[in-house]
């Protein structure tokens, strides 16, 4: 079977009706926010620069004008205060959707996320919950240097009580964000900013490809959900399993395409809860597993995935599980592409797995 013909569109999974509407990821996120503000009067959107200005990445453009300053508003530059206010609003009964302008800035809010939001339901035995969705652009590839490029997802997957969601396409960004906002648990929603405007192949020296040529930029109008905890099969194959999320889904897919490798590529979509069934089914089928993430390697989410695959699929494995990740350094500015786990690093790992 030809490589391209085995790409599985997310649309086919979730929707009967195909659509010709093409949105980039920002537009899809903006639409999801607008739909939820419209549907649920308890949804509020807040964050630094999200109001009149519409956000530094334009994700909230037009929302304040449409829904008013009581529903969409700017906040002080205080991630601690933003998350804490969202905890209080959730206790009141609202469904806040705070934005943290860059994932790199989320750390002042960590105590409120880890010690408070994540444990509110548990410590109060269900009397109080924190139904918030914390949106935050993450990942590198835009020359953001060490303070605008990080991928801190593993900090959050390590915390009991938090869900972590990372979309890889405009279609999923909209459906997952709606599902996250409707979820009654706190959700960390990391948006891979490198692919806001187009699916990045990892070949940074080639022209950017816009979303409109990608099948998963077809975004239906109106309300729909992509359920949390369900991975997406990007491409079906037999040679090896690739587990990835966010930007790296597209990079891994491009490398496999370029090498003509018949890979079974899973876009995990949510790290907690994780679609373990899809992972096990794929690895049992292929017997080989490559894990790709942009975050630093040591104690990264790839370590968790590698352990799970080894624990649960060991007797199906024909080669050691491989991880391709960012290096264990801060994200350097000028050497961004040397840090980035690009086609060379991924290609080498694939060769190694297939040679066993």
Binding mask of the shown chain, residues 292 to 331, with x at each position contacting another protein by CB under 8 A: ----------------------------------------
Least distance to another protein from the beta carbon of 152, Å? 19
CA-CA-CA-CA torsion sign (348, 349, 354, 356) = positive
Query: Could you tell me the smallest distance in angstroms from the CB atom of residue 148 to another protein?
Result: 22
Max intra-chain CA distance, the chain? 60
Tokens of 177: 């964000």
> Residue-wise over 57-83: b if at least 16 C-beta within 10 A, else e?
bebbbebbeebeeebbbbbeeebeebb
What is the nearest approach in angstroms of another protein to the Cβ of residue 40? 13
Q: Which is nearer to another protein, 211 or 245 (CB)?
A: 245
Listed as own residue / partner, the contacts of 112-116 with beta carbons closer than 8 Å and 24 or more positions apart are: 112/80, 112/83, 112/84, 112/87, 113/83, 113/156, 113/159, 113/162, 113/186, 113/188, 114/159, 114/162, 116/83, 116/84, 116/87
**Residue number with CB closer to another protein (1 or 160):** 160
What is the C-alpha to C-alpha distance for residues 152 and 338, in angstroms, rounded to an integer?
A: 19
Residue closer to another protein by CB (options 70, 355) is: 70
Residue with Cβ nearer another protein (56 or 80): 80
Q: How far is the CB of 258 from another protein (least distance, A)?
A: 35
Among 7, 15, 148, 214, the active-site one is: 148
Q: Can you tell me which of 30, 101, 112, 169 binds another protein, judged by CB under 8 A?
A: 112
> Residue 50 Cβ, how far from another protein at the closest point, in Å?
15
Q: Which helix (H) or strand (E) holds 284?
A: helix 276-286
Integer-rounded Cα radius of gyration of the chain: 19
Residue 124, C-beta contacts closer than 8 angstroms, at least 6 positions apart? none
Segment interacting with another protein (CB under 8 A) among 2-10, 189-197, 266-274, 289-297: 266-274
What are 185's two structure tokens?
């648990």
**Residue window 89-108: x/- pattern of binding to another protein, with contact defined by CB under 8 A:** x-xxxx-------------x
Terminal CA-CA length for the chain: 24
CB 179 within 8 A of CB 227: yes
Dist CA 277 CA 230 (whole Å): 9
- Measured from the CB atom, the residue of 136 and 149 that comes closer to another protein is 136
Q: Is 276 in the site for another protein (CB under 8 A)?
A: yes
277 burial level (CB within 10 Å; 0-12, 13-18, 19+): exposed
Q: Taking CB under 8 A as the criterion, which residues in 29-68 touch another protein? A: 44
Q: C-beta of 120: minimal distance to another protein in Å?
A: 7
Is there binding between residue 17 and another protein (CB under 8 A)?
no
Q: Is residue 16 a contact point for another protein (CB under 8 A)?
A: no
Write out the binding residues for another protein, residues 200-239 only, by CB under 8 A. Answer: 229
- Judged by phi (left if over 0) then psi (alpha if -120 to 50, else beta), residue 207 lies in beta
Among 59, 129, 263, 291, binds another protein (CB under 8 A): 129
CA atoms within 13 Å, Cβ hemisphere of 136: 30
Cβ proximity to another protein: between 75 and 150 the closer is 75
15 is catalytic: no
Q: For the CB of residue 82, give the shortest distance to another protein in the complex, in Å.
A: 8
- Restricted to residues 131-170, the positions that interact with another protein (CB under 8 A) are 160-161, 163
In the bound state with another protein, the residue whose beta carbon lies nearer, of 115 and 299, is 115
Say whether residue 80 binds another protein (CB under 8 A). Answer: yes
250 — phi, psi (to 5°)? -75, -35
Binding site for another protein (CB under 8 A): 44, 70-71, 75-76, 78, 80-81, 84-89, 91-94, 108, 111-112, 115-116, 120-129, 160-161, 163, 183-185, 229, 272-274, 276
Query: What positions carry a catalytic annotation?
Result: 148
């Amino acid at each position: 079977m030809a490589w391209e013909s085995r790409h599985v569109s997310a649309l086919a999974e979730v929707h009967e009706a195909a659509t010709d509407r093409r949105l980039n990821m920002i537009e899809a996120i903006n639409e999801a926010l607008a739909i939820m503000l419209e549907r649920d009067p308890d949804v509020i959107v807040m964050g630094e620069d999200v109001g009149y200005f519409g956000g530094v990445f334009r994700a909230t453009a037009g929302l304040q004008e449409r829904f008013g300053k009581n529903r969409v508003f700017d906040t002080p530059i205080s991630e601690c205060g933003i998350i804490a206010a969202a905890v209080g609003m959730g206790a009141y009964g609202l469904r806040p959707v705070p934005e943290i302008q860059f994932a790199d800035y989320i750390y002042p809010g960590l105590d409120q996320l880890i010690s408070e939001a994540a444990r509110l339901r548990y410590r109060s035995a269900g009397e109080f919950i924190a139904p918030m969705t914390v949106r935050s652009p993450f990942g590198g590839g835009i020359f953001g240097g060490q303070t605008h490029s990080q991928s801190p997802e593993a900090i959050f997957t390590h915390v009991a009580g938090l869900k972590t969601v990372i979309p890889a396409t405009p279609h999923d960004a909209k459906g997952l964000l709606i599902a996250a906002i409707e979820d009654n648990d706190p959700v960390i929603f990391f948006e891979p900013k490198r692919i806001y405007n187009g699916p990045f192949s990892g070949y940074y020296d080639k022209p950017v490809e816009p979303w409109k040529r990608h099948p998963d930029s077809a975004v239906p109008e109106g309300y729909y959900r992509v359920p949390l905890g369900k991975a997406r099969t990007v491409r079906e194959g037999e040679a090896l399993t690739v587990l990835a999320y966010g930007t790296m889904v597209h990079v891994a897919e491009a490398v496999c395409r370029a090498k003509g490798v018949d890979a079974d590529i899973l876009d995990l979509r949510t790290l907690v809860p994780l679609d373990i069934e899809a992972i096990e089914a794929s690895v049992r089928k292929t017997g080989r597993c490559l894990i790709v993430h942009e975050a630093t390697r040591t104690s990264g989410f790839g370590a968790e995935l590698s352990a799970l695959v080894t624990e649960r699929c060991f007797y199906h494995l024909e080669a050691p599980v491989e991880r391709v990740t960012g290096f264990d350094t801060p994200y350097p500015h000028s050497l961004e592409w040397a840090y980035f786990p690009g086609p060379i690093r991924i290609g080498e790992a694939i060769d190694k797995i297939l040679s066993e």
